[in-house]
Amino acid sequence: MLKRIASCVAALACIATFTPAHAEVLDSAGIRKLVTGRTIYLAAPLGGEFPLNYRPDGTVTGDGTAVGLGRFLAAKETGRWSVSGDLLCQQFPTWNKGARVCFTLERLVDGKIRWVQTNGDQGLARLGN
């Protein structure tokens, strides 16, 4: 059973790192236009979505309640977001030990967003309202 779970996780990792030929890497203006006042839903590795609400005032609220995040750390938290160069950056009081984390964003042809953190972590998301 553990081998089967490991195989599924490995397959999901391969899917999440696939880069379509028609991805548009967003610059600072594109990032601001994409996220300001919107909710981005990050795909959770084992199912579900993790919403991040990027308010125009520079605050970002994340809610991991639906993906069971509350078992490990604060389920909901509000931090700050900004654009630095062509990177979307965010910092929460306790998540990521309070460290500032930055990402590049790519708009994919299927309406999804691919994010790549400066440490190499990456994943997919979808744009909400």
Instruction: Give the integer Cα–Cα distance in Å for 60 and 53.
Output: 5
pLDDT(66) > 50: yes
Residue count of the chain: 129
Minimal CA–CA distance to 124: which of 34, 24, 43, 57? 43
**Residue 22 pLDDT level (bands cut at 50, 70, 90):** low
Tokens of 84: 């630095």
Minimal CA–CA distance to 105: which of 15, 12, 24? 24
pLDDT(40) > 80: yes
Whether pTM exceeds 0.85:
no
pLDDT(65) > 70: yes
Mean pLDDT within 27-47: 91
Instruction: Give the integer Cα–Cα distance in Å for 21 and 14.
Output: 16
